[in-house]
Structure 1
C-alpha cells in the first residue's frame, strides 16, 4: 500500500467531504477529472455543486471509514455515511464505496457505488 496515497485519501475526506468545503476541491481534483455515478458522468464542477447541496441539506455528518486500499496512482475507500436530513430531522445512513484514479497528485477519475440511489447533480 502506498502510504502517500493513503494519506491523500484521509486528507480528501477531512478537508473536502467532512467539512463540505467546495473551496478545497481544486487541491484534490484535477480540472479535467471525470467521475461516474450510476448513469451520470460527472465533472469537477459537479463535485463542487454536490458539496454545496450537501451543506444545505445535511447536518451532523459522520464518515465512518471502514477501509482504504491504496496504490501509487489509485485508491479505494469504503465508509458508512450518516447524517441528519435538515428537511425532516431524520437520521440517514448509507454505505459508500469510491474508487479513485490519480494523476499528477490529484484525482483524475472516480467511480462511486452506494446503496442509496441519489442524483449526484442535484442543485440547491
Structure 2
C-alpha cells in the first residue's frame, strides 16, 4: 500500500473500530494472529475484542482527537488525545495515546501501545 493508502486505513480503523467500540469490525483491520504489546502485556485479537466490549460498558461520550498520523508503506503511528466520561462515577477521563502498527497483507499484524496512563488492557467485559 502507498503511504496515502496506509493513512486512509488508519483513519478508517479509528472511525470503524475505535470510535464506535465495534469489536465486530476487527476482521477488516487485524490479522487473526495479530500480536500486540502494552507495557508488560502481550495481546491477541481476543484481547482487543474484549477491550472494545469493556470500553463500551465503561466509557461514555468517547472522543478521539487525532493529533498526528505518520504512515509508510507497511506501518503507521497514530497519536491521539482520548477523553470520555467514566460511567461508574461520572468523572471525566483524559489520556494521551500513541499506537505503532505494522501491516502485513493490508492488515495489522503487530502493534505497540504507549499511554500516558497505565491500565490493564486485558480487562474483560461483565
What is the TM-score with the length of structure 2 in the denominator? 0.97
Please list every run of at least 4 consecutive aligned residues from structure 1 whose deviation after the TM superposition is greater than 4 angstroms. Answer: none
1:7 partnered with 2:5:
no
Q: 1:24: how far off?
A: 0.2
Aligned to 1:49: 50
Aligned to 1:25: 26
| CA distance in 2: counterparts of 1:45 and 1:121, whole angstroms | 9
Root mean square deviation, CA, Å: 0.7
Post-superposition CA distance 1:62-91 (Å, at most 9, x none): 000000000010000000000000000011
Q: 1:101: how far off?
A: 0.1
5+ residue gaps, structure 1? none
Q: 1:30: how far off?
A: 0.2
Total equivalences in the alignment: 124
5+ residue gaps, structure 2? none
